[in-house]
Copies of this chain bind each other. A is one copy, B any other.
Amino acid sequence: MKTKDFDTRDFLQTGVEDLLPSVSVDCVIFGFHEGTLKILLNKFKFHGTWMLPGGFVYKKEDVDDAAYRILKSRTGLDKVYLEQFHLFGNHNRTNIQENEKILNQIDMGSEKPEHHWFLNRFVSVGYYAFVEYSKVEVYTADGEDLRWHHIDEIPQLYSDHNKIIEKAILTIRSQIGNIPIGYELLPEKFAMTELRIIYETIFNKKLDRRNFQRKMLSTGLINKLDETSKKWGIKSATLFSFNKEKYEHAKDSENALFD
Could you list which residues of chain A lie within 8 angstroms of chain B, going by C-beta atoms?
Answer: 20-23, 57, 59-64, 84, 86-87, 89-91, 121, 123, 125, 174-175, 178
User: A84 — which chain B residues lie within 8 A by C-beta?
Assistant: 86-87
Known: A22-B23, A63-B123, A175-B175. 14 other contacts (CB 8 A): A21-B22, A22-B22, A23-B23, A57-B89, A59-B91, A59-B121, A60-B91, A62-B90, A63-B90, A64-B89, A64-B90, A84-B86, A87-B125, A174-B178
Query: How many Å from the CB of A168 to the closest CB on chain B?
Result: 15
Alpha-carbon distance between A191 and B59 when the two chains are bound, in angstroms: 51
- Smallest CB gap from A84: residue in B: B87
User: A91 — which chain B residues lie within 8 A by C-beta?
Assistant: 59-62
Enumerate 15 A-B pairs (CB-CB under 8 Å) in ascending A order. A20-B22, A20-B121, A21-B21, A21-B22, A22-B22, A22-B23, A23-B123, A57-B89, A60-B91, A62-B91, A63-B123, A64-B89, A87-B125, A174-B178, A175-B175
- Smallest CB gap from A90: residue in B: B62
Query: How many Å from the CB of A96 to the closest CB on chain B?
Result: 12
Query: How many Å from the CB of A99 to the closest CB on chain B?
Result: 16
User: A60 — which chain B residues lie within 8 A by C-beta?
Assistant: 91
Alpha-carbon distance between A59 and B91 when the two chains are bound, in angstroms: 7
Query: How many Å from the CB of A51 to the closest CB on chain B?
Result: 20
User: A178 — which chain B residues lie within 8 A by C-beta?
Assistant: 174
Query: How many Å from the CB of A187 to the closest CB on chain B?
Result: 29
Alpha-carbon distance between A4 and B60 when the two chains are bound, in angstroms: 37
- Smallest CB gap from A93: residue in B: B62
Query: How many Å from the CB of A72 to the closest CB on chain B?
Result: 18
Interface centre among A62, A89, A121, A125 (most CB of B within 10 A): A89
Alpha-carbon distance between A185 and B86 when the two chains are bound, in angstroms: 25
User: A89 — which chain B residues lie within 8 A by C-beta?
Assistant: 23, 57, 62-64, 125
- Smallest CB gap from A125: residue in B: B87
User: A20 — which chain B residues lie within 8 A by C-beta?
Assistant: 22, 121, 123
